[in-house]
Structure formats: structure tokens, C-alpha cells
Amino acid sequence: MKTKLYLVPTPIGNLEDMTFRAIRILKEVDLILAEDTRTSGFLLKHFEIGTPMGSFHKFNEHHKLAHCIQELQAGKTIALISDAGTPSISDPGFLLVRACVQNHIEVECLPGATAFVPALVNSGFPSDRFIFEGFLPQKKGRNKRLESLTSEERTIVFYESPFRLVKLLNQLAEYFSAEHQACVSRELSKLHEENRRGSLQELAEHYTATPPKGEIVVVFNPVLD
């Protein structure tokens, strides 16, 4: 294989979403960098992928960056995967891609699973123009970020922890209104997938009474119809 960094999406829940090409690339590269080697180990075992694996996550990516570039410059091919979805979308990857570009190392991102696209399409809100906010800051800068969104007219997509979902819904109600519409998507591609639509108030009340579980995407319509 030609020296290159591959960004390989992995399933966000349903293993059937793994592509033939992704499996082939992971089998052919010299090294797989994984966000969590234990989590990815189950995936690789399922698809009978025996490629050596190393860790690459937000706590060590700065430290490992130079070594990864050296390995690529030495002629190795490397694939980067995250626990689920496409690397660098709210997961490590950006710093390594930027370093490759700066060092004239080819980068290729395979198409594949990512949570915000099906959540956006499922919501029923306008999807021709939207912004992806990912995870809001937990504390410092959170209110400032929400304030900056109050003039937005495009559909807004957030990632959120199940433990902070109600907080986000209530804060959006404060900055916009309780009648604004949103869609909460949970467990996408899994057996108990849920796409619950309603006003911010209705959703906040529901998830207060029924605490959510699983990975969550919130799609919010800032325009009050």
C-alpha cells in the first residue's frame, strides 16, 4: 500500500454498517490507531482483523503526534479509528490530519457512519443548511456559545451526554423559547433506536421523568414556525 493516513469510520451501533472497504483497509495497513484499544479490539476480532493496534486518544495525541508522523515518513500506512463513527468528528483526529498535511503526507477519509447525519435527516427539520456544534463546553464558555446561537436560522445539531440532556433542553428554552421544536435521537442504528420530537418543554419534561440512556444527538430548529 502507498504511504498514507486513512481515517476509517466504524459503526455507531450496528456492526452491519461496517463497509467492505473499511474492513479491507484495516486488514492491509501496517498499524491501526484506536481511541480505545479495548473497545476497538472487539470490533477487530468480530471482523477477523489481526493488524497491530496502538492507542491514540485526547489524552495522548499531542505526545504521540511526532512518532506517528515519523512512522508515516518511514513508509508505513496507518489507519485511525474512533470508538464509533468518523474520526475527528468530536473525536481525536484533527491534529494528526493537520500534521500530515503540513508534512505532505497523503490523507484519505473513507465515507461511513457518523451519528449526526441520520439524526438530522430523521428530525424532519430543514437539512439543506445546518450547523454542527458537537458538544458544548460543560462550564466555561457554554453560555457565551448559546448566546451566539440566538441569531442563527439554520438547523443546529448538538451531541450531548444523557446526564446533561435535560440541562441542554432547558438552556435552549431559556435562550430561545420553550415552544421551539427539537428532536432527540438516541441509540441510532441499534435495536432500541428512538427519535423523539416535540417542543423543548415537552422533551425536557419527558426526559426528566424518563432519564435517557445511550449516545444522544439533539437536532434543534431555531426558527419558531
- C-alpha radius of gyration, the chain, whole number: 19
pLDDT at 225 over 80: no
Q: What number is the average pLDDT over the span 198-204?
A: 98
Q: Can you give the pTM of this predicted structure?
A: 0.92
Q: What number is the average pLDDT over the span 83-96?
A: 94
Strands (E), 36-177: 53-55, 78-81, 107-109, 130-135, 155-160
CB neighbourhood size of 197 (10 A) = 17
Give the model's pLDDT for residue 2.
79
Give the model's pLDDT for residue 1.
77
DSSP designation for 137: P
From CA 159, how far away is CA 85, in angstroms rounded? Answer: 13
Give the model's pLDDT for residue 32.
98
Tell me if 17 sits within 8 A of 112, measured CB to CB: yes
Q: Where are the domains of the chain?
A: 5-109, 116-220
Q: Which tens digits make up the pLDDT trace of 22-66?
A: 999 999 999 999 999 999 999 999 999 999 999 999 899 899 999
In percent, the amount of the chain with pLDDT more than 70 equals 100
CATH number belonging to domain 5-109 = 3.40.1010.10
CB neighbourhood size of 72 (10 A) = 23
116-220 is a CATH 3.30.950.10 domain: yes
From CA 152, how far away is CA 166, in angstroms rounded? Answer: 21
11-to-84, 119, 135, 190 alpha-carbon distances in Å:
6, 15, 20, 10
From CA 39, how far away is CA 83, in angstroms rounded? Answer: 6
Question: Is 139 buried (19+), middle (13-18) or exposed (0-12) by CB count in 10 A?
Answer: exposed
From CA 158, how far away is CA 136, in angstroms rounded? Answer: 8
Q: Which tens digits make up the pLDDT trace of 132-183?
A: 999 999 889 999 999 999 999 999 999 999 999 999 999 999 999 999 999 9
Q: What integer best gives the mean pLDDT of the chain? A: 96
From CA 224, how far away is CA 118, in angstroms rounded? Answer: 23
